[in-house]
Amino acid sequence: MSVWDILTNYYPAFLTGLSVTLKLCAIIWGSGLILGGALGLAGNKFPRGVGFPSHGVSFFLGGVPLLVFLFWLHYPVQAMFNVVIDPFYTAAFTLAIVNIFAVADIIRGALNDFPQQYLIAAKVTGLTRKQTIFKIQLPLILREVMPPLLLLQVAMLHITLFSSLISVEEIFRVAQRINAQIYRPVEIYTALGVFFLAVCLPINGLALWLKSRFTRNLSEQ
């Protein structure tokens, strides 16, 4: 059975798993970009009250294997509070937390490193604070953060594969079920790769294009 045969015969199952994966991503991406962006802005504005604690949490999460963090929230934490939560929501919450603090680090770093001479030039030319933000700061910062943010979201899509280990019926778990029926691991996981390429390549391409097209050297040199 070829890859094409597997895609033809089992595409409804793959599409069902892919829909679960994309639902996970919608939660992870949306919360990460919105809440992470807000946390990054707050961290820049209040470095001691928000920035340092946020960076500390990010540093902690970076040192804990994601799979361990996921298992903590799925097994001992739920047993501790005597609750049973759908694995989908556990996975979405866990990965969203990781994404939120990763996005916050990117945003906060870009704001902290923003060259002050642009702000001085804006003040000298008589631009208001609002004009400075929307005509100078925002466009330049977006140029810097868009490529790494897009690549981060692709990485979060890949990481959703871990959710299969707590019984989330996403695309990798579906592939495992199909493999248990026909045992064609090379062809099945190649088909899985095709689905991921179809989703990830456009995002990776956009990130690389944005980086080459808009990223500039913002140093004082």
Given a cut of 60, whether residue 217 has pLDDT beyond it is no
Given a cut of 90, whether residue 220 has pLDDT beyond it is no
- Per-residue buried b or exposed e for 29-66, using 16+ beta carbons within 10 Å of the residue's own CB: bebbbebbbebbebbbeeeeebbeebbebbeeeeeeee
Radius of gyration of the chain measured on its C-alpha atoms: 21
- Position 215 scores a pLDDT of 58
pTM: 0.85
Amino acid at 8: T
The structure tokens listed for 203 are 């995002």
Q: Which residues contact 97 (CB under 8 A, 6 or more apart)?
A: 61
- Position 35 scores a pLDDT of 96
Lowest-confidence region among 61-70, 157-166, 198-207: 198-207
Q: Which CATH number fits the domain 3-214, given the four candidates 1.10.10.10, 3.40.50.970, 3.40.50.620, 1.10.3720.10?
A: 1.10.3720.10
Given a cut of 50, whether residue 221 has pLDDT beyond it is no
